[in-house]
Amino acid sequence: MALGKQQAIEVGTTTSQRERRKQLVLLLSRVWAWVFLGILIVFFIVSVPIVSEGSVTFLTVRNSQNILVAITPVLLLGLGQTFVIIAGGIDLSVGWMMSLASVISALVIRETFNVGQPLLAAVIIGFVATVVGTGFVGFLNGTIIARLKVPAFIVTLGSSFIVRGVAFLLTDNTTVIGLPPGLRDYGNNALIYLIRGEGGGVYFLNSPDVTGDLLRNMDRVLPYPVVLTVIVVAIAMFLLKKTQFGRHTYAIGGNLEAALRAGIPVDRHIISLYMLSAVTAGIAGFLSTLRFTAGSAVIGDPLLLSSIAAVIIGGVSLFGGAGSVMGTVIGALLIAVLTTGLVMLNVLPFWQFIVVGVVVILAVLIDQARDLIIGRFESE
Amino acid sequence: MITTTSQAEARQQKREPVLSIRQLVKRFGGLTAVNKVDMDVYPGEVVGLVGDNAAGKSTLIKCVSGVYHPEDGEIYFQGRRVNFARPIDARNAGIETIYQDLALAGNLNVSANIFMGREAKKRHLGGLIHTLDERYMLDESKQVLDTLEIRFPSYTEQIEKLSGGQRQAVAIARAVYWQARLMIMDEPTNNLGVVEQRKVLELIHKLKEQDVPVILISHTLPDVFAVTDRIVVLHRGRKVTEKSTSETDSQEIVQYMVGALDDSAEIRTA
């Protein structure tokens, strides 16, 4: 009797230990990307000055802003993709969609400005045209996927070719140039300007009129494209976590049949997801036009796979049903930190691809290992 | 028509049947899956629908829930003739079918599943923005689960982490919350452990207390005898008998299921 009691207590302890270990594994699998990002940053902070013999440091205001500017297009492409993949789909058209958007916005801004509209009006009309144009293509994508039941992979693969062709046709295979010169400010000005050293200071909204050393020591903090991206990220987070739209996105990805039976307008929802994805890619293209004062039909293509990589590193399941906006932000940040840091270490840029590839596979392996370990805990 | 004592009792109480099926026929090509079946379900009644494989149980049920469209015969629900074009129409009318796959989203939590497709929302900025009212949904979910005496360790965990019986309970709670007028349960105790099976049967009792009639399709005769008031036996698409559960036993029911006994044949020959 006494022995039995003893055993019962021991069983109790191991169960709680196992439970604690299970929680630890869960926690680690959830925050590994953060941890990895932190390790990377520390690694670069230490290694960059050593390699450059003290002439370059990693963690500067300027470098942090460069990283932010670098991730905006990848992040924007990844945001819409996050919604689409959570609902169990995929959008392969976002890369060329960004290109098309860059071309459309450049042409519309140029022509609107040339007929005598003020620059601000031209920019706004260019933005609206981009959103409407990409939104329309997204509508077609979604309609064919939802109503005609063609797999998303096929539809968006096909439409990415079509969009690519249209972008090249619109530009006649050249870069769209001759944009109003003031456009550069929209794409490059910042909320805050910091001038280090003597005669320096902090300026808001307007670029201080300085030259020479002062200009060299000036950092742009929160450039407009970053501000716009932050706003889009905030909206996406709100949409996914707080609204019925987000809930339905998870429900469709979790169990399509259940969503249908629950009366969720699944077809309509899927269409709006592909529109959302197209429009966030469109905003990325619009911002690239402002930043480079030119429209380019090739700007988005190399970013498609990076954006999907960011989404996967961020923990979105390609089987649908799981993922978050914050995860995608971390994924994009991780790739950008990695890329920037390796460049500062004077590593050949091709190594970036190899490292990003390893991290993508690692991300999915960690997910699987988590399920395996937890499964083992539960079967014990 | 076969009249049983329990039907007679129900009529004495002057209660109209919730569901009336009259001379229902469903064919698939040359095969008559359901052949002139009559069936009534009264308020607060648990009716067992049993039969061998291919007896027509599922086909009959799918005609009621709007999945199939019968060739002939009538279905009356709450006194009105119905003809559901789609399953969602049957559901909106109050006929809730709980299939084996449960129609739950495993990646969502308990209350998100109970409110799936009918989420409660809060209005902001004069109705410009709507957000999910998680608190309300959670409170309401807890309440309905309480009335069914279902308890979970956590209401915020994804339901794929719950056991099969617990998920079954969520599906039942959802139907109860949305005021199902008739619950159809297709093999609800399949793939469940013994304790969980008992829990589901208890839930069926609870539904009865809430006056929600249940049609229970099951192969497991002990379960059927444990919870039903009446048993309808189908054999090759025909209703071969209808017995008050208290007036029969599983041996007799098995005889009907395999076709050794057939009341309808007696009536025809009489």
Which has more confidence, B53 or B214? B214
Query: Cα separations (Å) of A120 from A127, A279, B54?
Result: 11, 21, 72
Whether residues B104 and A253 touch (CB distance < 8 A) is answered with: no
Backbone angles phi, psi at A59, to 5 degrees: -90, 80
Establish if A101 belongs to a structural domain: yes
Establish if B143 belongs to a structural domain: yes
User: Which of A243, A253, A262 is opposite residue B116, by nearest beta carbon?
Assistant: A262
User: Cα-Cα-Cα-Cα dihedral of B143, B148, B150, B151, to 10°?
Assistant: 30
Alpha-carbon span B180 to B215, nearest angstrom: 12
On whether any CB of chain A is under 8 Å from the CB of B123, the answer is: no
Beta partners for residue B186, in sequence order: B217
Kindly tell me the burial class for residue B251, based on how many C-beta atoms sit within 10 Å of its own C-beta (0-12, 13-18, 19 or more).
exposed
Alpha-carbon span B100 to A122, nearest angstrom: 58
Establish if B158 belongs to a structural domain: yes
Establish if B114 belongs to a structural domain: yes
Q: Look at residues A62, A48, A43, A70 and name the one whose alpha carbon lies nearest to residue A288.
A: A70
Can you give the pLDDT at residue A295? Answer: 92
Beta partners for residue B242, in sequence order: B232
Which has more confidence, B244 or B1? B244
Kindly tell me the burial class for residue B108, based on how many C-beta atoms sit within 10 Å of its own C-beta (0-12, 13-18, 19 or more).
buried
Establish if A188 belongs to a structural domain: yes
Distance of residue A327 Cα from the nearest chain B Cα, in angstroms? 17
Distance of residue A70 Cα from the nearest chain B Cα, in angstroms? 32
Contact A338, A37 (CB under 8 A): no
The sheet with strand B230-235 has its strands ordered as B95-98, B182-186, B214-217, B46-51, B230-235, B238-244
Q: Which residues neighbour A47 within 8 Å (Cβ) at sequence distance 6 or greater?
A: A345
Chain B residues inside the 8 Å CB shell of A374? none
Contact B116, B173 (CB under 8 A): no
Establish if B140 belongs to a structural domain: yes
Establish if A4 belongs to a structural domain: no
Establish if A7 belongs to a structural domain: no
SS3 assignment, position A4: helix
Alpha-carbon span B113 to A343, nearest angstrom: 48
On whether any CB of chain A is under 8 Å from the CB of B94, the answer is: no
Q: What is the mean pLDDT, run by run of 10 residues, along chain A of 380 residues?
A: 41 63 79 88 91 84 88 95 96 96 96 92 96 97 96 96 95 88 86 81 79 80 92 96 96 92 91 97 95 91 91 89 93 90 87 88 84 71
CB atoms within 10 A of CB A161: 12
Nearest CA in chain B to A87: B107
Chain B residues inside the 8 Å CB shell of A248? 117
Establish if A19 belongs to a structural domain: no
Alpha-carbon span A73 to A225, nearest angstrom: 9
Write the DSSP string, B32-73: EEEEEEEEEE-TT-EEEEEESTTSSHHHHHHHHTTSS--SEE
Alpha-carbon span B75 to B39, nearest angstrom: 9
Distance of residue B253 Cα from the nearest chain A Cα, in angstroms? 34
Whether residues A251 and B104 touch (CB distance < 8 A) is answered with: no
Nearest CA in chain A to B129: A243
Alpha-carbon span B3 to B6, nearest angstrom: 9
Alpha-carbon span A198 to A311, nearest angstrom: 43
Domain that holds residue B109: 105-179
Which tokens is A125 given? Answer: 């009309």
SS3 assignment, position A313: helix
Q: Look at residues A254, A242, A246 and name the one whose alpha carbon lies nearest to residue B134.
A: A242
On whether any CB of chain B is under 8 Å from the CB of A254, the answer is: yes
Nearest CA in chain A to B99: A258
Residues B209-216, mean pLDDT to the nearest whole number: 88
In the block, which residue shows the tokens 């036009």?
A289
Beta partners for residue A220, in sequence order: A193
SS3 assignment, position A264: coil
On whether any CB of chain B is under 8 Å from the CB of A259, the answer is: yes
Can you give the pLDDT at residue A234? Answer: 97
β-strand A201-204 against B46-51: which pairing, if any?
A: unpaired
Q: What value does the mean pLDDT of chain B take?
A: 86
> How many distinct structural domains can be found in chain B?
1
For residue A225, the one-letter residue type is P
Establish if A27 belongs to a structural domain: no
pLDDT band at B6; cut points 50, 70, 90:
low
Least confident of A20-24, B172-176, B177-181: A20-24
Q: What confidence tens digit (pLDDT) does each residue in B37-91 have?
A: 999 999 889 999 999 888 889 899 999 988 899 999 999 999 899 989 888 888 8
Q: Work out the percent of chain B whose per-residue pLDDT is above 70.
A: 91
Which has more confidence, A188 or B191? A188
Domain that holds residue A324: 32-379
On whether any CB of chain A is under 8 Å from the CB of B104, the answer is: yes
Distance of residue A128 Cα from the nearest chain B Cα, in angstroms? 21
Can you give the pLDDT at residue B88? Answer: 81
SS3 assignment, position B260: coil
Q: Which residues neighbour A294 within 8 Å (Cβ) at sequence distance 6 or greater?
A: A106, A175, A176, A177, A179
Distance of residue B49 Cα from the nearest chain A Cα, in angstroms? 24
- A11, containing H or E segment: helix A2-51
Can you give the pLDDT at residue A14? Answer: 58
Can you give the pLDDT at residue B7? Answer: 54
Q: Look at residues A263, A368, A250, A257 and name the one whose alpha carbon lies nearest to residue A320.
A: A250
> How many distinct structural domains can be found in chain A?
1
Alpha-carbon span A110 to A104, nearest angstrom: 10
Alpha-carbon span B81 to A192, nearest angstrom: 71
Alpha-carbon span B198 to B185, nearest angstrom: 15
Query: Cα separations (Å) of B110 from B59, B101, B134?
Result: 30, 16, 11
Which has more confidence, B86 or B14? B86
Distance of residue A260 Cα from the nearest chain B Cα, in angstroms? 9
Establish if B144 belongs to a structural domain: yes
Establish if B91 belongs to a structural domain: no
Chain B residues inside the 8 Å CB shell of A263? 88, 91-92, 117-118
Residues B187-211, mean pLDDT to the nearest whole number: 83
Residues of chain A numbered 304-343 and touching chain B (CB < 8 Å): 321-322
Alpha-carbon span B205 to B193, nearest angstrom: 19
Which among A242, A252, A261 is the top mutation candidate for probing chain B, defined by the most B β-carbons within 10 Å of its own β-carbon?
A: A261
Whether residues B107 and A321 touch (CB distance < 8 A) is answered with: yes
DSSP A234: H
Can you give the pLDDT at residue B14? Answer: 53
Residues B116-138, mean pLDDT to the nearest whole number: 91
Alpha-carbon span A44 to B161, nearest angstrom: 40
Distance of residue B22 Cα from the nearest chain A Cα, in angstroms? 27
On whether any CB of chain A is under 8 Å from the CB of B161, the answer is: no
Can you give the pLDDT at residue A3? Answer: 42
pLDDT band at B134; cut points 50, 70, 90:
very high
Angle, to 10 degrees, between the axis of helix B164-177 and the axis of helix B194-209?
10
For residue A373, the one-letter residue type is I
Whether residues B132 and A259 touch (CB distance < 8 A) is answered with: no
Establish if A23 belongs to a structural domain: no
Establish if B160 belongs to a structural domain: yes
Q: Look at residues B132, B2, B46 and name the one whose alpha carbon lies nearest to residue A250.
A: B132
Write the DSSP string, B173-237: HHHHHTT-SEEEEESTTTT--HHHHHHHHHHHHHHHHTT--EEEE-S-HHHHHHH-SEEEEEETT
Nearest CA in chain B to A241: B132
User: Which of B102, B106, B132 is opposite residue A247, by nearest beta carbon?
Assistant: B132
User: Which of B108, B117, B131 is opposite residue A263, by nearest beta carbon?
Assistant: B117
Establish if A220 belongs to a structural domain: yes
